[in-house]
């Protein structure tokens, strides 16, 4: 009995993580590290990528490569929660006739409003182990999130030669910019009115959490016509080059929820 239980538990341990794994776009089987490249040769591994995903987020991590024969070939595909994840990378010399240029893309989701940022993307190469035995390459990408004002969804800076800090402004809201295009104009006001109409007629909320925060420019807990009116007043002031001070005083300021 005890033996059966332990076998059952062992099976659970083996099967449980696999069941939660996503299928790749091409439908290939994915191992528990997210490796999708079928011709992966462990003996060629000469690098390791570490990705650190912050609390309160998840990340869609994609690693692909270009070679003389292949373009954007899927290499790793993985969706992960907070933590640090490692990816073994094969080394290839980058001469004209035999190269591999790797690409990594990390899309963070979550934060205060449960939204997704535009993916962070970077390229890297890994030298050939056979040509230079001391060339093992380690790179780490350490992600964090904040509510800093931003036109880009993220900023990245190399903190050391091998570590890149990527700050994703997932919690930033530009008040009044409902469609998130960086401008506050009549189409934002129209979205507020449409939402107000949907709420009034029982259809309910259609905006995302982040859009709802951006829409409530009166900070009174509800989205209605007065929010739309305030956005239009602001837009009118910008359009006619009048001062906008005090209209959307909180525009471009992250609200304290």
- Footprint of Ca ion (CB under 5 A): 177, 179, 181, 183, 188, 216, 218, 220, 227
Radius of gyration of the chain (CA): 24
Using alpha carbons only, give the angle 136, 139, 140 rounded to the nearest 5 degrees: 145
Least separation in angstroms between residue 237's CB and Ca ion is 15
Least separation in angstroms between residue 8's CB and Ca ion is 55
* Buried-state track 63-76, b at ≥16 Cβ within 10 A, e below 16: bbbeeeeeeebbbb
Least separation in angstroms between residue 19's CB and Ca ion is 41
Report how far residue 211's alpha carbon sits from residue 150's, in angstroms, rounded to the nearest whole number: 16
User: Which residues 6+ apart lie within 8 Å of 80 measured at CB?
Assistant: 51, 53, 58, 59, 61
* Buried-state track 229-250, b at ≥16 Cβ within 10 A, e below 16: ebbbebbebeeeeeebeebbee
Q: Where are the alpha helices (DSSP H) in 137-203?
A: 186-200
Given the complex with Ca ion, which of 95 and 257 has the nearer CB atom? 257
Least separation in angstroms between residue 95's CB and Ca ion is 48
Select from 42, 36, 34, 2 the least CA-distant residue to 18: 34
Given the complex with Ca ion, which of 160 and 201 has the nearer CB atom? 201
Q: Which residue has the tokens 């990705």?
A: 51
Given the complex with Ca ion, which of 27 and 182 has the nearer CB atom? 182
Given the complex with Ca ion, which of 112 and 227 has the nearer CB atom? 227
Least separation in angstroms between residue 144's CB and Ca ion is 27
Least separation in angstroms between residue 233's CB and Ca ion is 14
Given the complex with Ca ion, which of 181 and 197 has the nearer CB atom? 181
Q: Are strands 45-66 and 120-124 parallel, antiparallel or unpaired?
A: unpaired
Fill in the DSSP letter of residue 184: -
In the beta sheet, which residues pair with residue 84?
Answer: 52
Given the complex with Ca ion, which of 46 and 216 has the nearer CB atom? 216
CB-nearest residue to Ca ion: 218
Least separation in angstroms between residue 115's CB and Ca ion is 15
Given the complex with Ca ion, which of 121 and 249 has the nearer CB atom? 249
Select from 194, 164, 183 the least CA-distant residue to 239: 183
């Amino acid at each position: 009995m005890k033996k059966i239980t332990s076998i059952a538990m062992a099976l659970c341990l083996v099967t449980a993580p696999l069941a939660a794994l996503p299928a790749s776009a091409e439908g290939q089987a994915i191992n528990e590290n997210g490796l999708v490249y079928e011709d992966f040769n462990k003996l060629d591994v000469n690098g390791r990528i570490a990705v650190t995903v912050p609390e309160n987020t998840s990340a869609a991590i994609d690693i692909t490569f270009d070679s003389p024969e292949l373009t954007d070939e899927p290499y790793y595909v993985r969706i992960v929660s907070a933590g640090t994840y490692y990816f073994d990378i094969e080394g290839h010399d980058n001469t004209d006739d035999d190269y591999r240029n790797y690409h990594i893309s990390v899309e963070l989701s979550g934060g205060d409003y449960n939204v997704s940022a535009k993916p962070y993307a970077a390229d890297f190469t890994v030298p050939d182990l056979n040509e230079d035995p001391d060339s093992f390459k380690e790179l780490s990408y350490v992600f964090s999130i904040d509510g800093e004002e931003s036109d880009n969804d993220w900023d990245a800076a190399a903190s050391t030669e091998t570590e890149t800090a990527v700050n994703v402004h997932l919690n930033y809201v530009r008040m009044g910019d409902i469609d998130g295009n960086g401008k506050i104009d009549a189409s934002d006001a129209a979205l507020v009115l449409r939402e107000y109409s949907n709420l009034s007629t029982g259809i309910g909320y259609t905006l995302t959490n982040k859009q709802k925060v951006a829409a409530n420019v009166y900070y009174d807990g509800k989205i209605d016509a007065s929010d739309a009116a305030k956005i239009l007043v602001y837009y009118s002031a910008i359009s006619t080059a009048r001062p906008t001070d005090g209209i959307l005083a909180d525009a471009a300021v992250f609200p304290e929820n």
